[in-house]
Structure 1
């Protein structure tokens, strides 16, 4: 089996296509279920954020798994496969592992270094675990990716230098309405991004922060945390007139502010400039809003352009170095684990030979003293251990250099081994080598 990663992201897909491919939580679960029920895939985790929709899959075959995942993704998004394929990226095995680690570290995000992806990846894994769509392969990989992402944010200063989508939007808004300090801000949505926006503008010294959300209780809880006020969702239109900056990230499937509604609010404002920062995918604010006098609309496409240079800063290079080292360590460990069953099978086979010969000796020499029999047994074990030492060490060394698979296969053929036998994991290990001074090693 092998790892396969297939998806769309802001790197290579137009925003319109990314909007079409956004999946809510229930749709992600259905997509995972469809993939794991296909012929060539046994595990699947779907990650869908504001700038990516991708599938991590453990496949039985590469080409079969690729076809199954591609077709399931097209069906889930409602986008024709022919329209998806030119924009899909595919990572296999080592590259897939490196991609997972980079994603968790925030190095593949539109806002390089952002930490929100850690929570999104953790939620995706938890959902897949709960629904039985993930097994040992993807669970191990993504748990390790989460650990690497946390390490990057702990050991580097990437959080201090990375500019979030919210921060980039506010910086751009400054040109139209001035600094956040003293501005009146309306936040639409109280989810993860909405909470980040409300916290950011509150800490930046906004004159007032108002939060509107479909669940008023959730808006009130967030407002209490950040010192804001909360409004029922239907009251958002009235709040438009007072807001200098509107930040929207609701997760709705259609626009929540039309050009007509914004135009009415602009007229009531008497022509004072107003900025809309649309962090949603699909977009919340009608793109036609940008054509209105005095109105600036900043969407994810514009934010992506603003943040495209972030990968050059020293702190990001330091984070990439950590990820590179972690990928190498993970691959080495995985290679060693891959040859472990063969090593265990070889030693199990040797143990069987020793046991048979010792039984034969006991039947033929019943008069042999216990001390002599023990000495013979130790001698046999020393011989076997010395014979196994070189191939055991060699297969582990070759595993670290990525060549363990072919060497392990050769051992299996030469000694007629089956690493899948239950006896391999149940047979006691051969005694350690006892040197001439009686010291074990």
Structure 2
């Protein structure tokens, strides 16, 4: 069994293709079910955000799993295999682990260091657990990736240099329209990214903040938290006319602001400049809106270019070093786990032999006093521990170098440990506790 990651991100694929493979909850579940339903993968977790769609799988065979995942992705997204092939990346084993940790820390995001990816990975894990698509391997990987991501934000200075997509968009808007304190801002949507946008605007200060959303209760709650005002999405035309800056991220599968709607807003505004920040994937704002006079549109592709221009900072390097150390520790622990059943079976066999021989000693020397009996038992246990110490250490050392299986097999043959005995101690204990 081996870990495989296959996906596309803003690093490898154009925005239209990312839009085509962006998956909602139902599509993610469908994709994972298709993958584990075939013969080459036993576990699958799908992470799909505005910047990436990735499939993490525990594979029986590498090439077979890659083929199955690619076929399943083309079926669910209805994108041609040839259209995907040149943009897909594949990571295997230690590189896959390193990629998962890097993603969780936000180092692979458009906005380096952004923390939203942690929540998205946590949601993907929960969905896979609920559907039965995540077993011990991917559970362990994602749990540890989430812990590493938390460490990055609590133990390093990455948050002090992390520039969000929202902030990048606002920087563009301010450069075009003037100080934010004199601007009216409309946030369309009330989900995770929209909430981040509203909070960022509220923290930066603006003349007025308005939240427009299809579900009014969500709009009101977000407006209350950010000091804004809620409006129903049915009043979007009027809200657009009043807004200097429009930030949209609704999760809609179609365009929310088309050319006609934006044109009407410009007429009502008398041609005053207006900036659209489109954080949605697929996009909320029609590309044609940028053709209007005095109107600018900044989508994910443009904002991603703005953010990628920054140089690597000491804080980013600190997180990168953290990832390297955590990957090494994870690989060492995982290697030790592969030989743990043999170690446990060997010690169990030794304990049986000790108990049997001490029982015979009690029968032959029934008059032995308790103090002598305890000293004999202690001496026997010490001898056994010293004899088992070196084989145990050597087996763990070889496991970290990738040779644990051969050494474990030799010990099973030398000490006559049956496969049944080894399997009996290899079943992991039931998982307790929630997500970190």
> Does the aligned pair in 2 maintain the 1:173–1:275 contact within 8 Å?
yes
What is the rounded CA distance, in whole Å, between the counterparts of 1:185 and 1:340 in structure 2?
Answer: 58
> Does the aligned pair in 2 maintain the 1:344–1:424 contact within 8 Å?
no
**Larger mean Cα displacement after TM superposition, 380-389 or 297-306:** 380-389
> Does the aligned pair in 2 maintain the 1:22–1:53 contact within 8 Å?
yes
Per-residue deviation, residues 388-412 of structure 1 (Å, max 9, x unmatched):
2211121123334444333223323
**Larger mean Cα displacement after TM superposition, 202-211 or 244-253:** 202-211
**Structure 1 residues 420 and 227: alpha-carbon distance in aligned structure 2, compared to 1, 3 A threshold:** farther
Q: Does 1:18 align with 2:18?
A: yes
What is the rounded CA distance, in whole Å, between the counterparts of 2:194 and 2:325 in structure 1?
Answer: 34
Q: State the partner residue of 1:120.
A: 120
Q: State the partner residue of 1:237.
A: 237
> Does the aligned pair in 1 maintain the 2:341–2:423 contact within 8 Å?
no
**Larger mean Cα displacement after TM superposition, 302-311 or 7-16:** 302-311
Per-residue deviation, residues 81-114 of structure 1 (Å, max 9, x unmatched):
2211211111111111111111111111110000
Q: How many residues align?
A: 426
What is the rounded CA distance, in whole Å, between the counterparts of 1:5 and 1:420 in structure 2?
Answer: 33
What is the rounded CA distance, in whole Å, between the counterparts of 2:316 and 2:309 in structure 1?
Answer: 11
Matches within 5 A, 1:329-344: 329-344=329-344
SS in 2 for 1:240: helix
Deviation (angstroms), 1:422: 6.5
What is the rounded CA distance, in whole Å, between the counterparts of 2:295 and 2:136 in structure 1?
Answer: 51
Q: Does 1:282 align with 2:282?
A: yes
Alignment gaps of 5+ in structure 2: 427-436
**Larger mean Cα displacement after TM superposition, 147-156 or 331-340:** 331-340
Per-residue deviation, residues 117-157 of structure 1 (Å, max 9, x unmatched):
11111111112112222111111111111111111101112
Alignment gaps of 5+ in structure 1: 427-441
SS in 2 for 1:241: helix
Q: State the partner residue of 1:269.
A: 269
Q: State the partner residue of 2:167.
A: 167
SS in 1 for 2:107: coil
> Does the aligned pair in 2 maintain the 1:344–1:419 contact within 8 Å?
no
What is the rounded CA distance, in whole Å, between the counterparts of 1:334 and 1:406 in structure 2?
Answer: 16
**Structure 1 residues 211 and 368: alpha-carbon distance in aligned structure 2, compared to 1, 3 A threshold:** closer
Per-residue deviation, residues 251-270 of structure 1 (Å, max 9, x unmatched):
11111111122122112222
**Structure 1 residues 424 and 384: alpha-carbon distance in aligned structure 2, compared to 1, 3 A threshold:** farther
RMSD of Structure 2 on Structure 1 (CA): 2.3
Deviation (angstroms), 1:312: 0.6
Matches within 5 A, 1:30-429: 30-310=30-310, 312-355=312-355, 357=357, 380-418=380-418, 421=421, 425=425
